[in-house]
Amino acid sequence: LQARAQKTHELLLSLRNLKVIDIAVSPHSERAFSDRETRMAVKRRVAFERLECIGDNAWGSHLSGRMLLVFPDKKWAHCQMHHSFNTFRDLAETNTNLERMFDLLDIAELLPPASRSIVGDGKIKADIFEAILGELNCALYAHEANLWGTSE
């Protein structure tokens, strides 16, 4: 698990350096900005919230698809199994587990130094993790091949 986490961390660092992951790891500070900086900070915060929402939904969808792939013999649609399916997915989507993923992947290192100190513990770790998932999801869809076989 640690070896996979380290490899994933290295890939995330590369994606950050290539600006594929940008908004999710941008600084969010409480300090006073100039008018222009304030407008940019607000725009980035709104974009962050949107990416967090996209990441939350993408994570749930991915978990559902993965469960169907890994356990094809289970009859998830039957009354006895749908509760287990939802329980597993809900557990995997809890903020506590997303915070663990944040720590395991050492996502704090992706953040600007000034932002690392204000992350602390709690929901913000889960929010940043979901925003990264959202940003990656958007990047994948942006580079998806169109009907004529090219990507833009």
pLDDT in tens, 79-138: 667 777 788 888 888 888 999 999 999 998 888 877 777 777 778 888 889 999 999 999
Residue type at 88 in one-letter notation: F
pTM of the model: 0.78
pLDDT in tens, 16-55: 999 888 877 776 554 545 566 666 666 678 888 899 999 9
The span from the CA of 82 to the CA of 72, in Å, is 14
Report whether 51 contacts 25 (CB < 8 A).
no
DSSP-H helix ranges across the chain: 2-17, 35-70, 79-92, 95-104, 113-119, 123-142
